[in-house]
Amino acid sequence: MSTQDPRMESAWNTYRNFLDNAPPHQVTQDLRNLFVPDDLINELIRRHDIESTKFVSLKEPLSVGRENAVKWYAGPRSDDKNWPAYRSHLQKSLDNDAIKKINDASDKVVAMLDHPATAKFNSRGLVVGHVQSGKTSNFTAVIAKAADRGYRMFIVLSGVHNALRRQTQARLIRDIVNLNPPLWHQITKLEHDFMPLPNPAALLTAKDQHLLLVVKKNAVVLRKLKKWLRSAQAHLHNCPALLIDDEADQATIATQSINPLINGVINSLPRVCYVGYTATPFANLLADPVKDDSFYPRDFILSLPRSEDYQGPEKLFGRAALDGEDPATAPGGLDMIRNIPDDEVVELRPASRGDAASFEPAITPSLRRAVLWFWLATAARRVRSGKTDHSSMLIHAHSDTRVHDSYGPPLHRFRREVLADLAEPDSRFLAEMRDLWAAESERVRAVEMGEKPLVIDDVLDVVLDVVDATKIIMDHYRSTDRLDYESEPKPVIAVGGNTLSRGLTLEGLVVSVFVRSSDVYDTLLQMGRWFGYRPGYTDLPRIYMPAEMRRWFAHLATVEAEMRIEIDRLLEEHKTPMELAVRIRCHPKMRVTAPSKEKAAVRAAAAYGGALVESRYFPTVPAETAKSWLDENSKAVQALLSASVEHGRYVRVDDGKSLWREVPTEEIVAFVDTYRFHAMSTDAPGKLMSAYIRKRRDNGGLYSWNVAVVGNRPRDVGKTVNLPDGRKVGLVMRTRTAASRGDDIADIRTLTGPRDEGLDLALDPNESVNRTKLKRERSKQQPERGLVLLYPIDAKSTPAPVQQRTAEGVSKPARQQDRAPLAAPGEVVWGVALVFPDPSKGQDVLVEYDYVAADLSKVFPTATDEEPEDVSVFEQDLDSVEAEPAP
């Protein structure tokens, strides 16, 4: 239709006049009431978008989806009311840089929504945040900006607990409603959940008010909400809605009672955009992408950024190197994790569910140090800041509330004992406190964390007041005394389980004791309440947990980093989540999510072309078991070296390194099948690598390998190892990370040196290299030939001294802060790295890998109620979570 059509010009003038007094969606309806044809209205909308909106490019944080959708949101405008008010409110507590990040990130989310003037829409997206890292601030900004553009109804699903619903309602009242009271009508209140209001037509047709509902994921409540919306169908067309699902992987996915009800609410709204928010999106990413009632994010996924100050899984626990990443640059983790020995774990949690009723915890040495450090750290915060802030300690041992209550008597008794000891100025207890402060301050130095160092005497001057003011709270659905951060700041030791593991923020969390038994990705990450920002006390947090649990969290850090790269990959390849599924790395002892949530998942295929795979983890205790493991690996190495001497061609590299070229692939397969990579090295399962090597060999590639021993010159070190051809090689030093100190598994973090991968290549010794260059040179010089690197490691490796400059400017030796002795049994630990060349012809071969992803090609049956990963809220019908009454 020509834009010069007189009907068009008349309608356009009417449209522009109406815009002065009403939002676009209302104007659209008004034009229909004037019998303006739909084709004219659609053209008006198109022209309005062209004339009134200048589009901005979408940059970090990366987002996907809506590739073919109308780009309608260009950021805040000068006449906006809600976002400017919220931005001014944020300026009271945040700096400009932090506010800019919230502004930019929320812009990207709003840009993913549907244009509110669209006649009908029903879209689903997912925003992936970080645990305890500003998801609420982001969706608050999204609500403000969407309201400024014409969205009228905002429904926030806020988890399954009353405490979290109330917390979310309070924040939205403070940050949205109270800043523009005439613009908002609260259908839910601070003191109660959704209650049906009479005459919904009056609310839904009011042009100048936005509607806010903060609703718990409770079946009774959701039924009432769905019924109320159905009763107002005639008026909902003029009410574009944004439904924000906080903790979108909880209850929403695969629960027979909640899942259909949320779908019922969504389907009651003719114009609605559903946006799930979660830091643990595994269940959402593995949902069935084909079923209409699935909460798979079919339209978009967006990953929120995090600040450098955020202490998340990667920063606290470290992670493995990602594909193409130099292992030496992979984060090693802060030295803030403290090991709870296995013999203490049995004193901190019941051995079985049946023991919960009679369980009596003990103040074990680890728990004692944790509580004492909490009091010292809280006192240190007061000295450093000069004021009293909320300060919290978390004890999470079990989900059974009887176990929570059992902690009350010993903790109260211990507090009384400490108060008595503090009254004795010359007591041994004060010496214990001084020693604890000295040890912890040495392991995590304040100045290296950008914090002000403190004197212990100043801290001890405040400790008595801290201990005296400490409140011990058992926080669960049956307790009457629960966490309250709205009153006067005080130190709190909180004992709890499920109510503290989802969304609820523990203000000023300093110390965590975690012995909860769970082996599920999303459950574990959500229980990590210690993640977050610690302004002014980044050096003070400590986490006490069993060694295996620490290793699991390190694995989860790797999983999370890879997952976000996968999301970025979708954007780079211009794919939607319906075209390319996000892969999630598996673990031999852990589950990605509850079984019922991943019924639509399939194993992903992957390849090793161009990869560097190295052994990173080595058992050290118990000594007998560890020695047996390491001895078997030594035999495997010696067998490979013997085969290399017999079948390969020796090439001298230098006194510390030996190289054999053209070793048959069959010998490498035999070695990979016998050398044991630890299960923590999830990218290096021997069976998978040997299957890949065989498959690629059968396709005409990887016909031979080079094998090298990477050691030191014998004359430079005191310890050597004999090779099968009679040569001697000096041992190399590889220490463990400080975070794995005292663990039964040593994490050396990285095995190879920066040029080791090119040991069999002709390289300019004066030219710098990186992995990209080394891979390119291998393709040129050694096509279809891999490299095995063998490292004889001194089992007693100790950190090398480094020079530290004192205040007087004098250099003195100091130990490496992030390293600890390897402390392995025996004399030699053999480390192994395999360098896989890129395929020289065609695509790489694929083998079924330890990754899962949503199946984009099949329809799966409806998921059933999820199975409990341990004693959790999911043992109960979510209609009555923790027996909290519906309003």
Range from 155-164, 389-398, 727-736 carrying the lowest mean pLDDT = 155-164
Q: What is the pLDDT of residue 683?
A: 62
pLDDT at 466 over 60: yes
Q: What does pLDDT average to over the chain? A: 84
Sorting pLDDT into bands at 50, 70 and 90, what band is 53? very low
| Cα–Cα separations (whole angstroms), residue 884 to 494, 579, 879 | 20, 41, 9
pLDDT at 881 over 50: no
Q: What is the pLDDT of residue 738?
A: 85
Q: CA-to-CA distance for 84 and 76, rounded, in angstroms? A: 8
Can you say how many angstroms the Cα of residue 17 is from the centroid of all Cα atoms in its chain?
49
Sorting pLDDT into bands at 50, 70 and 90, what band is 455? very high
Range from 146-155, 164-173, 560-569 carrying the lowest mean pLDDT = 560-569
**Where is 236: in which H helix or E strand?**
helix 233-236
Q: What is the pLDDT of residue 850?
A: 66
Q: CA-to-CA distance for 373 and 543, rounded, in angstroms? A: 11
Sorting pLDDT into bands at 50, 70 and 90, what band is 500? confident
The ranges assigned to domains in the chain are: 1-55, 80-305+585-598+855-887, 313-553, 612-759+768-845
pLDDT at 227 over 90: yes
Helices vs. strands in the chain: H and E counts, helices first? 25, 30
Q: What is the pLDDT of residue 880?
A: 34
The stretch 26-41 carries a mean pLDDT of: 72
Q: CA-to-CA distance for 543 and 509, rounded, in angstroms? A: 10
Q: What is the pLDDT of residue 854?
A: 78
Q: Which of 73, 72, 89 is nearest to 81 (CA)?
A: 89
The stretch 852-860 carries a mean pLDDT of: 60
Q: CA-to-CA distance for 297 and 581, rounded, in angstroms? A: 10
Q: What is the pLDDT of residue 832?
A: 97
CATH number of 80-305+585-598+855-887: 3.40.50.300
Q: What is the pLDDT of residue 826?
A: 95
DSSP three-state, residue 881:
helix
Strands 704-710 and 785-794: parallel
pLDDT at 22 over 80: no
pLDDT at 570 over 90: no
Q: What is the pLDDT of residue 879?
A: 34
Range from 53-67, 115-129, 262-276, 377-391 carrying the lowest mean pLDDT = 53-67
% of the chain surpassing 70 pLDDT: 86
DSSP three-state, residue 690:
helix
The stretch 352-371 carries a mean pLDDT of: 94
State pLDDT tens for residues 105-141: 999 999 999 999 888 999 999 999 888 777 899 999 9
> For the chain, how many residues are written?
887
State pLDDT tens for residues 797-840: 999 876 555 545 545 445 566 789 999 999 999 999 999 999 98
Sorting pLDDT into bands at 50, 70 and 90, what band is 431? very high
DSSP three-state, residue 447:
helix
Range from 348-352, 377-381, 517-521 carrying the lowest mean pLDDT = 517-521
Sorting pLDDT into bands at 50, 70 and 90, what band is 24? low
Name the one residue in this structure whose structure tokens are 């493995």. Answer: 320
The stretch 691-699 carries a mean pLDDT of: 91
Instruction: Give the residue, 431 or 717, on which the prediction is more confident.
Output: 431
Sorting pLDDT into bands at 50, 70 and 90, what band is 251? confident
Range from 309-318, 377-386, 638-647, 685-694 carrying the lowest mean pLDDT = 685-694
DSSP three-state, residue 674:
helix
Q: What is the pLDDT of residue 544?
A: 96
pLDDT at 409 over 50: yes
Sorting pLDDT into bands at 50, 70 and 90, what band is 659? very high
Range from 100-104, 194-198, 435-439, 791-795 carrying the lowest mean pLDDT = 194-198
Q: CA-to-CA distance for 796 and 801, rounded, in angstroms? A: 15
State pLDDT tens for residues 181-212: 999 999 999 888 999 888 888 888 877 899 99
The stretch 59-66 carries a mean pLDDT of: 42
Q: What is the pLDDT of residue 17?
A: 62
The stretch 467-479 carries a mean pLDDT of: 89
pTM, two decimal places: 0.68
DSSP string over 738-772:
GGGTT-SEEE-S--S-TTGGGTTS---TTS---HH
Range from 18-22, 322-326, 828-832 carrying the lowest mean pLDDT = 18-22
CB atoms within 10 A of CB 379: 26
